[in-house]
Structure formats: structure tokens, C-alpha cells
């Protein structure tokens, strides 16, 4: 039975896309775990193994504009559907990290903490996080004053200070509270 593991990275940040990966593994890959529990170096080594050994894998980004248009939950669900659709092999079953799945045409199950329990979900977690981190490092070159390479768009003190000083850029999620509040203050000042 071909099982696709699906996970996302970047639901919580104030900037950048939400990134979703789907992976169908051919066999065991040593060292897989929840991407948040692995060092960046370990994730980078595993990315190459996953891409080389998986039967199929995909990574999709859902843009800031789409997140602001339909909300982060719906954007994540859309990303999951798009990631599975982008696989060149159709799985028999889909296992998603979390407590909800989108409406897939095939059997799907949500597994809370699945990124630490199911190898295919762990692999998807690693691909999604690494791809999103790489994208945020690229955005840092375009907008270096925000520190995207360091915090990857999350609401750290450094990021909030830059946001308050510079205002939001095109990569900020305008519907997320700190950005939304700042925009409202600018509107009424």
C-alpha cells in the first residue's frame, strides 16, 4: 500500500508562505523525526536522502496573499491538497500531521504528533521546513532589514522591532494580529 505522509511548515509566522510537503517513501530512512527536533545540519542531510529514496515527493508554497484571502487554516488545507496532487504517483492512503485533513478523494487520516511517529510524515515535515527556511533566506536578501534569515518570519522580538520600525513589507501576512494592528495604527495616525 502506498502511503503519502503530509505536513506543513510556517502556519504561525507573520511573514512568508505556508509550505506543505507530501512524501511517499520506498523504505526506511535512518534518522527521520519531527523536523523541529532535528538540527538544521541533520535536516539538510536528510533532505537529500528523502529526495533520492522516496518513490514520490512534492513541496508547495501557499502565498501570503492567499493566506490573507482565505485564512491560514484554509491555506494549509489547500496546500495539503495541492501537495498530494503534485505527486507523480497516486497514494492509496494519506496520513496528515495534525487533527484535520482536507477532503481528499482517497482515504485520509489525521494523526496528532504524526511528524514524530510516522516516517512518511516526518519526511514531509523535513522537506517542508527546509524548503520554507530556504525561501525565507532568499527573502532576507530582498528585505535584509527584517532578519528573515534568522527568525524565518516568526514573531520574535527582533522581527517585531523591525516591523514596528519599518512597517510591513509585501511578504507580511496582513491578517495576522501584529501586522494587522500596525496597519490599523498607520491608517488612523
Residue extents of the structural domains in the chain: 3-141
Coil, helix or strand at residue 54: strand
Strand order in the sheet with 107-111: 54-62, 18-25, 3-9, 93-97, 107-111
The pTM for the full model equals: 0.95
The CATH number that domain 3-141 falls under is 3.30.420.10
116 with 124: CB under 8 angstroms? no
Please indicate if the annotation marks 115 as binding a ligand: no
Query: Can you give the pLDDT of all 189 residues of the chain as single tens digits?
Result: 999 999 999 999 999 999 999 999 999 999 999 999 999 999 999 999 999 999 999 999 999 999 999 999 999 999 999 999 999 999 999 999 999 999 999 999 999 999 999 999 999 999 999 999 999 999 999 999 999 999 999 999 999 999 999 999 999 999 999 999 988 876 665
Please indicate if the annotation marks 33 as binding a ligand: no
Please indicate if the annotation marks 7 as binding a ligand: yes
Amino acid at each position: 500500500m502506498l502511503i503519502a505522509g503530509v505536513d506543513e511548515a510556517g502556519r504561525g509566522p507573520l511573514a512568508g508562505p505556508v509550505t506543505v510537503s507530501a512524501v511517499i517513501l520506498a523504505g526506511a530512512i535512518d534518522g527521520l523525526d519531527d523536523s523541529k527536533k532535528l538540527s538544521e545540519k541533520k535536516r539538510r542531510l536528510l533532505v537529500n536522502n528523502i529526495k533520492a529514496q522516496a518513490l514520490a515527493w512534492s513541496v508547495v508554497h501557499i502565498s501570503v496573499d492567499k493566506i490573507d484571502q482565505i485564512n491560514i487554516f484554509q491555506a494549509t488545507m489547500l496546500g495539503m491538497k495541492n501537495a498530494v496532487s503534485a505527486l507523480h504517483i497516486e497514494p492509496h492512503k494519506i496520513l496528515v500531521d495534525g487533527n484535520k485533513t482536507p477532503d481528499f478523494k482517497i482515504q485520509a487520516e489525521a494523526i496528532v504528533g504524526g511528524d514524530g511517529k510516522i516516517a512518511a510524515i516526518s519526511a514531509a515535515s523535513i522537506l517542508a521546513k527546509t524548503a520554507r527556511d530556504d525561501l525565507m533566506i532568499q527573502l532576507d536578501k530582498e528585505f535584509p532589514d527584517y532578519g528573515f534569515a534568522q527568525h524565518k518570519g516568526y514573531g520574535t522580538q527582533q522581527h517585531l522591532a523591525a516591523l514596528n520600525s519599518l512597517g510591513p513589507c509585501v511578504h507580511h501576512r496582513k491578517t495576522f494580529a501584529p501586522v494587522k494592528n500596525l496597519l490599523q495604527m498607520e491608517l488612523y495616525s
